[in-house]
Structure 1
Amino acid sequence: MISDVDMLCKLGKIKYQLMKTDPLRFFVRAFMAGAYLGLAAILSYTLGALLSDHSVVGKIAVAGTFGIGLVAIIYLGAELFTGNCFVTIMPVLKKELKVRDILPMWITCYIGNMVGIAFICFLFIKGGSQEAIMTPYLKGIMEAKLHFNAVELLIRGILCNFIVCVAAYSGVKVKDDTAKLIIVMILVMTFVLPGFEHCVANGGIFAMGMTQLGNTVDWSLMPLHMLLSTIGNIIGGSVLLAVPVYMMFKAPKEKNM
């Protein structure tokens, strides 16, 4: 029976080979992952804006619906940077690949995700849908996101991708589609509801905010926010989850006779 480490290594090397042999196709898969998350952002943030007078209900609605993006990525086949931080680090831990081998894949995936989600979110705002309620709602979100403590933001990024990668890991392990759907949706709700930081999702919400609010907001801290949330996400997936999983399921060393 194949171990979890071997299974994840195989998946990681498939992604690596796809990037190596057909980088355009890999980029398109990354773009579509961002686009799928963009659809989830449209749904969840529209619900949040509609229910802004009922803050608790609105937050639950946002958290409860955002998971549809990860479900689409898992079922439709796309490349999400945060999930790849977990899967593609396994061949590195097993010494079958080096960090320098997977870095181009991570960078391509990250850019593709950001372009995809930013494009969909830009189109949503430019379409003028729900403009009257989205403007004050987005302004409140931007004010909250752009006033942050750097250490706290980093920790929220770590916890976020630990949870996202547990969801991705569950998506690989769980075979029953109904169970998989429920687990993924609940786990995504687990990181959205407390306000943890997902770098790709942040790319979408910042795209909405910049398109809708323009120069009415000071965006000077946005690059630092994105950098810290991205570093936190990498640590959460590649260290906090991947290392313990590797240690639990790696093949035992053979004793010398």
Structure 2
Amino acid sequence: MAYLEPSEFVTKMVDSGESKVYMSTKDTLIRAYMAGATLALAAVFAISVAMQSGSPLVGAILFPVGFIMLYLMKFDLLTGVFMLVPLAYLDKRPGVTIGQILRNWGLVGLGNFAGALTVAVMMAYIFTFGFDTDGGEIAIKVAGIGEARTLGYQSHGVSGWFTVFIRGMLCNWMVAMGVVGAMVSTSVSGKAIAMWMPIMLFFFMGFEHSIVNMFLFPFSLIMGGNFTISDYLLWNEVPVALGNLVGGLAFTGLTLYFTHIKTGAKRKL
């Protein structure tokens, strides 16, 4: 399945980060929108499968199909660019500045949210037959998830905030491994297998992904979740996004970069 050595795919990581900095605003927004929408569909698919099968593991096994599809189409998630784009700056690629990094993150985050919100509204419409019914079991399920992942953390105060932050770190450690997985092989099957493993792990473990949550919490609110937008932002989205940034960059991006590009073993002459 044409496995690439780390020194090869880490260079591809830096190249990818550089290319995203120079991508046009239009292309950045379109790719981010489609990434958010695709991941949102995968999330509601996984929740539906878990409910119907009675097995969260089955949902976790199948959730990575959305992640695999969006990366094969070269769409961008904020969690991915959190890791990739800073590597281009660290590698001193010409013209890559802190301002350009923040611009990329802002555009990708905006596109991801728009795509995720679109799917949240569409799925809520479907499950309620145009908002004429209460949504049934799926409404009860997602409302409960939304409340548990906002008010549940809030009930623990500062410890709850740092708990969700750490869950965000662990999540993007794995998600970033999935992003790298798309680069370790030149075959579709090899890419899919490498991406599937860490994504299944994060989903089953209940780690927090900022883009999945951009779908899940608006969907939960529409379906009757008993929490507010400020609850969602303060006790979930903000600490999760910060955790995603730290976890993906520190545990995956920087470790691979420093050991395989900057400090890798060299042959003695």
| Residue 62 (structure 2) aligned to one of 49, 60, 65 | 65
Q: Which residue of 1 aligns with 2:102?
A: 103
Q: Which amino acid aligns with 1:83?
A: G
* Pair 1:222-2:232 in alignment: yes
Question: What residue is the counterpart of 2:157 in the other structure?
Answer: none
Give the aligned residue type for 1:44: A
Q: Which runs of 5+ in 2 are unaligned?
A: 130-134, 154-159
Letter in 2 for 1:236: G
Tell me the residue number matched to 1:245: 256
C-alpha separation in 2, matches of 1:251 and 1:189: 31
CA distance in 2, matches of 1:25, 1:106: 14
| Partner AA of 2:118 in structure 1 | F
* Cross-structure match for 1:16: 21
Residue 38 of structure 1: CA displacement?
1.5
Q: Percent identity?
A: 23
Q: Deviations over 1:129-169 (max 9, x none)?
A: 69211121112212221111111111110010010011110
- The amino acid that maps onto 1:192 is F
8 Å CA contact retained: 2:143, 2:221: no
In 2, Cα distance between the equivalents of 1:137 and 1:129? 14
- Any conservation in 2 of the 1:117–1:200 contact (CA below 8 Å)? yes
* 1:185 equivalent in alignment to 2:189: no
Task: Output the CA distance in 1 between the equivalents of 2:191 and 2:11.
Answer: 21
Q: Structure 1 residues 155 and 133, CA, compared in 2 at 3 Å: closer, same or farther?
A: same
Equivalent in the alignment of 1:85:
82
Structure 1 residues 14, 221: CA separation in 2 closer, same or farther (over 3 Å shift)? same
Given that 1:170 and 1:184 are in contact with CA atoms closer than 8 Å, whether structure 2 keeps it comes out as yes
1:14-53 aligned at under 5 Å gives the runs 14-18=19-23, 22-51=24-53
Partners of 1:189 and 1:85 in 2: how far apart?
Answer: 20
Q: Which amino acid counterpart does residue 14 of structure 1 have in structure 2?
A: S
Q: What is the TM-score with the length of structure 2 in the denominator?
A: 0.84
Per-residue CA deviation, residues 86-112 of structure 1 (Å, 9 max, x unaligned), is 111211221222322211001100110
Residue range with higher mean Cα deviation, 114-123 or 128-137: 128-137
User: Once the two structures are superposed, what CA deviation does each residue of 1:178-224 show, in whole Å capped at 9, x if it has no partner?
Assistant: 2322232221110011110000001111121011116x444442111
Q: Does structure 1 retain, via aligned residues, the 8 Å contact 2:184–2:194?
A: no
Contact 1:170 1:183 in 2 (8 A): yes
Match of 2:205, SS state, is coil
Residue of structure 2 equivalent to 1:132: 136
Please say which of residues 199-208 and 176-185 is displaced more in the overlay. Answer: 176-185
Q: 1:55-110, CA deviations, whole angstroms, 9 ceiling, x for partnerless residues?
A: xx1x1122122211110111112111101111112112212223222110011001
Q: Write out per-residue CA displacement over residues 227-257 of structure 1, whole angstroms, 9 at most, x where no aligned residue.
A: 0000000001122211111111224699xxx
Q: What residue identity is the alignment partner of 1:222? A: Y
**Contact preservation (8 Å) 1:50, 1:133:** no
CA distance in 2 between partners of 1:166 and 1:252 (Å): 20
Q: CA deviation at 1:127?
A: 1.7
Q: Please, which runs of 5 or more residues in structure 1 have no aligned partner?
A: none
Counterpart for residue 207 of structure 1 = 218
Q: Tell whether the 8 Å contact from 2:83 to 2:252 is kept in structure 1 after alignment.
A: yes
* Secondary structure in structure 2 of the residue aligned to 1:88: helix
Matched, 1:171 2:182: yes
Counting matched residue pairs gives 245
TM-score normalized by the length of structure 1:
0.88
